[in-house]
Structure 1
């Protein structure tokens, strides 16, 4: 065999690619040598054995492809607005909450505040002190995650029987999901506030807004929420903390039926004003739309795709397609970002809410490149927003067929978080989120960026390894 001499190797310009620690790359750059650094880090600590088993599972590749196919094929049509007692079968004294299961003693300040407010709203207590005492005793009170009823709730996520819920359908997989109506910003129940203005607003939403929206949806619907998400990504929203375009498009669909609904002109005018002034009006429809997508991908043996990410203000929990309804939890991290008024980091509660279902389905923090203006609300800068989306491709199964990012040449958003990829790369999912005050009754204190704890993924990987086939 004859070899080809490496002619010109020493006379040509040198270009170097490196991986691992940056010391070598920095030394070359100091000598004006062009260097391309490969982003690399070792697997999460203690995962090597489990990772090798999961990666060798002969079912995994096909199972993940099927999970991705179902997730991206799922529909999401708004079909109704109904009270939770009717839609979810909630009984008096039963309260849903965001995140994995938790008991009152371990509940965070915002969750406790929201539960106190819900008790007052439902007439189960006359004062905050009485509500807290009953909740602490568990006197006729049941707490249950929203996800256990195929529902989702932003921030504290508290749902009581009298609250009205959006109802969305995925006809492709015969799925239904629900979410409460959005209260707006500031001192609201979902951020743990429970003052008279919060409870009064809930009563108005119960007696006026809910029934009017029900009439509008039944007359105008079904409304294709998935199509709105696809369009809002083209208009500068990312679907978690920026919903301006989505809210306006939703209102455009509802307005003709809303203004002709059976109600007083004053009530209709206030409902239109309230909905139009709320930039997060759409969030509570985007969340159950994403829930429908992840529900469709759940329960596939051998799949390492994450189908739930949720936080209750104390614990962060995930569920995985191939491990059924088991939760894998770790301590919730505290977001870092921008604060309102005089609030600071010491006022922020650890991460809370079911709204990370947006990232689980491929939007939110995974689509930040579509909404670079989001950094003005959650912190960071435009290069960070672009980099966040590009990095998430490293830990996902594929690119969404409907949700696209214009600045990335209309590349589909990174979709289908793979537990094995997270463990192998050490890259954790990027979430952007609101921040609730640590003390019950405070309300919102800011917005920021956060990642899940590693324990969620190492625990899930271990469970997947124990179930591996072949």
Structure 2
């Protein structure tokens, strides 16, 4: 009709945001939809994905794996020497974090830590003799994950080192982790000086005995309820464990006082634990691995059961793909660096501690820990957004781990490799940052994402198993 004014056009933009930006800049109305083609536009990968999405065989396998994860009940049983407890642990073997890697290809912090372990075990007198021993191939180097274990940063476990023993009372599987040494110049960051070795020997000869006798007095400790309470107290149980550590010490001390340990040993052990807010981290890792190992090995399942980094490679494992690793170069984390350090000083991402995110806590539970953003970067709103975003790539929620700020909804859990490849949303991880050189230690922390290429490889392999 002549003289009738047309209503302003309302545009929905899909794809490149620059088109919507141009409309908004000109005063128009546009809603941008953040969409990208499935499988990043890879036709062959897209076909593999299409065969797996809404596939009843995969869906049923995922339900089985996810239920095993949900039903797992990790209990802390004891502390003992790795060589006596870990399955397949040999006399001359050292375990490390991440996927398999040869000595000559390892990053500086991992090599430094393995050198320290060789000296701690008495296999070498100094760094030079340790290097010669390791180059000779006389010491086997294998991933922690291959022996039911998980270790932070370099993740080093040698036969004489004390480890936590965690039992899943539902399926009966056992998992392990080493004891946390505190921050600073410690073995997991590649430090191997005499004071580091002396601390490790004290942990072996005093701390481990105090802990084990206290656990003998106390009995099995249910870890899921303790972790759930810590989430309600501001932890995300990866880079923030202040509440979890306090709760654990509170539970342990009365039993320790009833044990036969001398007062000096008890005092040293309690003071050490109380001064290390990260002490519970290794326990949370063993608990998470217990839950995920229960879900591993279900044929045709696309559920991710491990994400791990060795400072060179980032790798994942799928429940339905046996012992296979799917790897790509580990990213360098662009996070918050301590004064005097920059991204140029950092090693690529390192450690088994992403087992926490794989189990639905850590970065997936950042909504529970707004204070964590002061350590890893971002804002409390970012933390909320991360916890919400992870629901798009997971099989469900774990209602044992609830988030108060989101009306006590369960954390997103059970990463589905199909959904990661379909949406292009990569799992988020809170992580510490190690210096690229051995022994300097942690130089920052940040938020990173698992590389999508790992998940693409896994979907290709899972598609092959379905076809066969």
TM-score normalized by structure 2? 0.94
User: Partner residue of 1:332?
Assistant: 330
Structure 1, residues 305-362: CA drift from partner, whole Å, max 9, x if none?
A: 1001111111111110111111111111111212223122111100111110001010
1:254-300 CA-partner distances (Å, limit 9, x unpaired): 01112333233222111000001110111111101110111111111
How much does 1:28 deviate? 5.0
For residues 399 and 15 of structure 1, what CA distance do their matches in structure 2 show? 36
Which stretch has the larger CA shift, 360-369 or 449-458? 449-458
Q: 2: distance between equivalents of 1:385 and 1:19? A: 26
Deviates more, 1:317-326 or 1:30-39: 30-39
- Equivalent in the alignment of 1:238: 236
Alignment of 1:271-420 (within 5 A): 271-420=269-418
In the alignment, is the contact (CA less than 8 A) between 2:110 and 2:190 conserved in 1? yes
Provide the alpha-carbon RMSD of the alignment.
1.9
Which runs of 4 or more aligned residues in structure 1 lie more than 6 Å from their structure 2 counterparts after TM superposition?
13-16, 31-34
**Matched residues in 2 for 1:441 and 1:260: separation?**
38
Could you tell me how far apart the structure 1 residues matched to 2:140 and 2:280 are?
29
Structure 1: how far apart are the matches of 2:430 and 2:260? 39
Aligned residues of 2:39 and 2:49 also touching (Cα < 8 A): no
- Where does residue 96 of structure 1 map in the other structure? 95
What is residue 226 of structure 2 aligned with on the other side?
Answer: 228
- Partner of 2:39, secondary structure, is coil
CA distance in 2, matches of 1:347, 1:110: 12
Of stretches 369-378 and 39-48 in structure 1, the one that deviates more from structure 2 is 39-48
Give me the whole-angstrom Cα distance separating, in 2, the residues matched to 1:311 and 1:436.
12
- Mark the CA change 1:63 to 1:35 in structure 2 (over 3 Å): closer, same or farther: farther
The Cα shift of 1:222 comes to 0.9
5 Å matches for 1:34-433? Answer: 36-45=31-40, 46=42, 47-55=45-53, 57-88=55-86, 90-138=89-137, 140-433=138-431
Q: Deviations over 1:182-224 (max 9, x none)?
A: 1001111011111111111001001000011000111112111
CA deviation after TM superposition for structure 1 residue 41, in Å: 2.0
Q: Distance in 2 between matches of 1:36 and 1:180?
A: 50
Tell me which residue corresponds to 2:3: none
Q: Give the CA deviation at 1:31.
A: 6.6
Shift of 1:27: 4.6
Alpha-carbon deviation of 1:22?
A: 2.2
Structure 1 residues 409, 126: CA separation in 2 closer, same or farther (over 3 Å shift)?
same
**Shift of residue 450, structure 1, vs aligned partner:** 1.7
Q: Secondary structure at the match of 1:40?
A: coil
Deviations 1:436-461 (A, max 9, x none): 11112222211112222222111101
Answer whether contact 2:76 2:165 (CA < 8 A) is retained: yes
Per-residue deviation, 1:91? 3.1
Which stretch shows the higher mean deviation, 358-367 or 49-58?
49-58
> In the aligned structure 1, how far is the partner of 2:422 from the partner of 2:280?
35
User: Structure 1 residues 56, 263: CA separation in 2 closer, same or farther (over 3 Å shift)?
Assistant: closer
**Residues in 1 aligned to 2:233 and 2:12: alpha-carbon distance in whole angstroms:** 37
SS in structure 2 of the partner of residue 318 of structure 1: strand
Shift of 1:70: 1.4
Cα distance change on mapping 1:23 and 1:87 into 2, 3 Å: same
Q: Give the Cα separation in 2 of the matches to 1:18 and 1:246.
A: 45
**Structure 1 residues 247-256 or 82-91, which shifts more?**
82-91
**For 1:39-74, what per-residue CA distance to the aligned partner results, in whole angstroms no more than 9, with x for missing partners?**
322223322122112225331122212222111111
Residues in 1 aligned to 2:365 and 2:437: alpha-carbon distance in whole angstroms: 31
